[in-house]
Amino acid sequence: MNLSMGFVRPNRGNSTRPMTKAAVTLSSLAVFAALALVSAGPAAAEERVYQASSVAGEAVEHAKEQIGKPYRWGAEGPGSFDCSGLVQYSYKKAGKRLSRTTYTQFREGRSVSRSNLRPGDLVFFYSGPSHVGMYVGNGRMIHAPSSGKRVQIVEMAGYYNRQFVGARRVA
């Protein structure tokens, strides 16, 4: 029985030999799978990460809804926030309970290196630590900075890069 179907593939040297139906089918499947992955693009990869941690993604969205609200020491929302109050409030709205202070939040979840940060990870600054924000992706975080300022998204570069002391994944 001849299974060659007229397809040939190069063999070592200059000779060729026919491909079987199974080889053609497997080759076709590999090409279609590769095309599907390429055409899905980076958005599909981001969506998979988001779905893997939907609580963290929801917490980020709840935190973003607070942009522009004033900082007030000890405030837990919804009208104003301090740094740990913003984090606690955002995660609570996403269905996850966190402790109230920066110091205790630094002991929740598991440690994450800066190079492995994902949206929703908590990022900590200053010795103690004494300030917390929430990573939102692309080297940025959302936080309630200090008196006289408002909830905002900032780059984690320069000043914050020098003050960074660690990160925790809580969802």
Q: Which of 62, 69, 131, 168 is catalytic?
A: 131
Total length of the chain: 171
Residue 36's H or E segment, with its range, is helix 21-52
> Residue 36 is which amino acid?
A
Concerning whether 169 is annotated as a catalytic residue, the answer is no
Q: Which of 96, 143, 168, 169 is catalytic?
A: 143
List, in order, residues 6 or more apart from 23 with CB less than 8 Å away. 9
Concerning whether 11 is annotated as a catalytic residue, the answer is no
Concerning whether 62 is annotated as a catalytic residue, the answer is no
Q: Which of 56, 83, 117, 156 is catalytic?
A: 83
The residues pairing with 142 across neighbouring beta strands, listed in sequence order, are: 134, 153
Q: Order across the sheet with 122-125: list the strands.
A: 110-111, 164-169, 122-125, 131-137, 140-143, 152-155
Q: What residues act catalytically?
A: 83, 131, 143
